[in-house]
Amino acid sequence: YELTQPPSVSVSPGQTARISCSGNALPDQFAYWYQQKPGQAPLLIIYKDTERPSGIPARFSGSSSGTTVTLTISGVQAEDEADYYCQSADISGVYEIFGGGTKLTVL
Protein backbone atom coordinates (compact mmCIF):
# COMPACT_ATOMS: atom_id res chain seq x y z
CA TYR A 1 0.00 0.00 0.00
CA GLU A 2 1.31 3.45 -0.87
CA LEU A 3 0.53 7.08 -0.29
CA THR A 4 1.59 9.16 -3.27
CA GLN A 5 2.68 12.78 -2.97
CA PRO A 6 4.32 15.09 -5.51
CA PRO A 7 8.05 15.36 -4.78
CA SER A 8 8.05 19.14 -4.90
CA VAL A 9 5.81 22.19 -4.97
CA SER A 10 6.97 25.76 -5.49
CA VAL A 11 5.03 28.94 -4.77
CA SER A 12 5.73 32.63 -4.30
CA PRO A 13 5.10 34.29 -0.94
CA GLY A 14 1.45 35.14 -0.43
CA GLN A 15 0.23 32.54 -2.90
CA THR A 16 -1.62 29.33 -2.11
CA ALA A 17 0.18 25.99 -2.02
CA ARG A 18 -1.68 22.74 -2.44
CA ILE A 19 -0.07 19.38 -1.72
CA SER A 20 -1.96 16.23 -2.63
CA CYS A 21 -1.74 12.73 -1.19
CA SER A 22 -3.39 9.77 -2.87
CA GLY A 23 -4.11 6.32 -1.53
CA ASN A 24 -6.79 3.70 -2.00
CA ALA A 25 -7.61 3.41 1.70
CA LEU A 26 -8.02 7.12 2.32
CA PRO A 27 -11.82 6.97 2.08
CA ASP A 28 -11.73 4.60 5.07
CA GLN A 29 -8.86 5.93 7.16
CA PHE A 30 -8.06 9.34 8.57
CA ALA A 31 -5.13 11.20 7.10
CA TYR A 32 -2.62 13.31 8.96
CA TRP A 33 -0.13 15.92 7.77
CA TYR A 34 3.28 16.74 9.20
CA GLN A 35 5.68 19.61 8.60
CA GLN A 36 9.38 18.88 8.93
CA LYS A 37 12.06 21.54 8.82
CA PRO A 38 15.77 20.64 8.47
CA GLY A 39 17.20 19.06 11.58
CA GLN A 40 13.85 18.99 13.36
CA ALA A 41 11.32 16.33 14.23
CA PRO A 42 8.09 16.32 12.24
CA LEU A 43 5.24 18.44 13.58
CA LEU A 44 1.61 17.36 13.28
CA ILE A 45 -0.26 20.15 11.51
CA ILE A 46 -3.49 18.47 10.38
CA TYR A 47 -5.29 15.51 11.97
CA LYS A 48 -8.45 13.59 11.08
CA ASP A 49 -8.24 14.89 7.49
CA THR A 50 -9.27 18.46 8.28
CA GLU A 51 -8.65 19.33 11.94
CA ARG A 52 -5.91 21.69 13.01
CA PRO A 53 -4.12 21.24 16.36
CA SER A 54 -3.97 24.21 18.67
CA GLY A 55 -1.11 26.51 17.84
CA ILE A 56 -1.08 25.69 14.13
CA PRO A 57 -1.77 28.81 12.04
CA ALA A 58 -5.14 29.02 10.31
CA ARG A 59 -3.47 29.28 6.92
CA PHE A 60 -2.96 25.52 7.08
CA SER A 61 -6.03 23.50 6.15
CA GLY A 62 -6.85 19.97 5.04
CA SER A 63 -9.51 18.53 2.80
CA SER A 64 -10.53 15.10 1.60
CA SER A 65 -12.20 13.82 -1.54
CA GLY A 66 -12.36 10.13 -2.31
CA THR A 67 -8.89 8.63 -2.51
CA THR A 68 -7.11 11.99 -2.27
CA VAL A 69 -6.44 14.30 0.64
CA THR A 70 -5.00 17.76 0.18
CA LEU A 71 -3.02 20.09 2.39
CA THR A 72 -3.61 23.74 1.53
CA ILE A 73 -1.41 26.55 2.75
CA SER A 74 -3.03 29.91 2.08
CA GLY A 75 -0.88 33.01 1.98
CA VAL A 76 2.38 31.06 2.07
CA GLN A 77 5.15 32.60 4.13
CA ALA A 78 8.88 32.07 3.85
CA GLU A 79 8.84 30.16 7.13
CA ASP A 80 6.55 27.55 5.56
CA GLU A 81 9.40 26.24 3.44
CA ALA A 82 9.75 22.65 4.64
CA ASP A 83 9.07 19.03 3.82
CA TYR A 84 5.46 17.93 4.22
CA TYR A 85 4.37 14.33 4.77
CA CYS A 86 0.95 12.77 4.72
CA GLN A 87 0.32 9.67 6.84
CA SER A 88 -2.51 7.23 7.19
CA ALA A 89 -3.08 3.49 7.55
CA ASP A 90 -3.86 0.63 5.24
CA ILE A 91 -7.43 -0.61 4.81
CA SER A 92 -7.13 -2.83 7.87
CA GLY A 93 -6.20 0.19 10.00
CA VAL A 94 -3.29 -1.72 11.48
CA TYR A 95 -0.28 -0.69 9.43
CA GLU A 96 0.69 2.97 9.33
CA ILE A 97 2.27 4.48 6.26
CA PHE A 98 3.83 7.79 5.32
CA GLY A 99 3.75 9.39 1.92
CA GLY A 100 7.08 10.02 0.25
CA GLY A 101 7.08 13.67 1.25
CA THR A 102 6.77 16.93 -0.64
CA LYS A 103 9.39 19.65 -0.53
CA LEU A 104 7.72 23.05 -0.47
CA THR A 105 9.90 25.79 -1.85
CA VAL A 106 8.94 29.41 -1.29
CA LEU A 107 10.35 31.35 -4.22
Partner 1 sequence: QLQLQASGPGLVKTSETLSLTCTVSGASLDNHEFSWGWIRQPPGKGLEWIGNIYNNGSIFYKPSLKSRVAIVVDASKNQFSLKLQSATVTDTAVYYCALARYYYGSGALAFDVWGQSTMVSVSS
At 19, which amino acid appears? I
In the complex, what is the shortest distance from the CB of residue 27 to partner 1, in angstroms, rounded to a whole number? 11
| DSSP string computed for 44-83 | EEEBTTTB--TTS-TTEEEEEETTEEEEEESS--GGG-EE
In the complex, what is the shortest distance from the CB of residue 82 to partner 1, in angstroms, rounded to a whole number? 13
61 contributes a contact to partner 1 by CB under 8 A: no
Using CB under 8 A as the criterion, which residues of the chain lie in contact with partner 1 when the complex forms? 28-32, 34, 36, 41-44, 47-48, 53, 83, 85, 87-89, 92-101
